[in-house]
A and B are shown apart, each in its own frame.
Chain A
Amino acid sequence: MQQLNHEIDAFLASVERRGYLMSEIATGTPEDALDLVQDTMIAFVRRYSARSAEEWPPLFFRILQNRIRDWYRWNKVRAKWRVRIDGNDTNPGQQRAAIENHPGTGVDDPLQKLTDYDFGEALIESLRNLPLRQQQAFMLRTWEGLSVIETAQAMGCSQGSVKTHLSRATKALRQQLEDFK
């Protein structure tokens, strides 16, 4: 049992930062990202620690992606109720995006604005702007290096859908980050 715990510990240590960054990009808030990683780790340890170590990465990311999807759904419902109660049609996410995308008063030149960002910041921003499914497909395939089959299992969709989402995500990112070539 002690040996198994060491192995799980090592595995979780190897994926926790990537899991956190995926969640943070998806949710936009560090607190929610930490909550999602915590739920994922507890569920993973409880349900899948007895499985073989080769199966762990896709299982861990499957739980994480499910948690992120649940978070999205819950926030969608909450946003609807908030709109009804407040009588305000503007989505909080849209408000945030509008504020963040609003050009600064001192930077009128787009080229100057681009140089102020580094590629990393622009990439994170572009990833945040992707639809959730495209974001998931891109992160799992390109960054995490899961196979198409493993990505499909993690996302709970067909392999064809993974390819479609990935292709759209890559195209969108390359278009948005063209200026950094």
Chain B
Amino acid sequence: MTANQESAGNFDRRVKNLLDQKTRELPQHTVGELQFIRKNALQHNCYRSNHHKNFIMSRLGAPAAYLWGGGIGIAFASIALTVVLVGRPPQQPMNTLPSEDDFSFLLTVSDDLEFYEHLEFYQWLEEFPVGHERHS
């Protein structure tokens, strides 16, 4: 082993020892929090092993199972909506043309109709008033 390698080995050992010492000197509250975190993570594991007996849950994990559940729910909702829309009784086709009644007001206003019927006459009368006969 060369002096350089030995020196590198010593340096690594010194660093390792020092970092190990640092972990031993961690503040008490940090050590307590780490223990709490560990117990919590393990409890999570116990909960899963006791409660996730369901086939889909155990095979796919909770997030995937939620996705499946959501997808099935949406599928059911779609089917229900389709049934409601298809099963509804057909509506009468909308009549877009105006009926005769819509024009009845025009027919009742007979004065106006008369006026339009004699429109040409009135125009002629305006051009050639009565009493002013043309003499060609």
Contacts and interface: CB of A to CB of B under 8 A. Distances in A.
Interface of A: 1, 5, 8-9, 12-13, 16-18, 20-21, 30, 34, 37-38, 41-42, 44-46, 49, 119-120, 123-124, 142-143, 170, 173-174
Interface stretch (B34-42, B76-84, B91-99, B120-128): B34-42
Nearest to B24: A17
Given A5-B45, A8-B45, A143 B16 contact: yes
A38 B18 contact: no
- Top 7 A-B pairs ranked by shortest CB distance? A41-B41, A17-B23, A45-B45, A38-B37, A16-B34, A45-B41, A42-B41
A139 to B, nearest CB: 8
A1 B49 contact: yes
A30 B15 contact: no
B85 interface: no
Interface string B39-65: 011101110110000000000000000
Contact of A34 (B8, B18, B23, B37): B37
Contact of B22 (A34, A49, A124, A174): A124
A124 B26 CA distance: 14
Contacts of A1: 46, 49
Contact of A143 (B19, B41, B48): B19
Contacts of B49: 1
How many chain B residues sit at the interface, stated as a range, is: 20 to 34
B21 interface: yes
Contacts of A170: 8, 11-12
Contacts of B8: 170
B102 interface: no
B11 A174 contact: yes
A30 B37 CA distance: 14
B37 A9 contact: no
Nearest to B61: A46
Given A21-B22, A34-B34, A119-B18, 20 more contacts: A8-B42, A12-B38, A12-B41, A13-B38, A16-B37, A17-B24, A18-B23, A20-B23, A20-B26, A21-B19, A37-B34, A41-B41, A45-B42, A120-B18, A123-B19, A142-B15, A143-B15, A143-B19, A170-B11, A173-B15
Contacts of B133: none
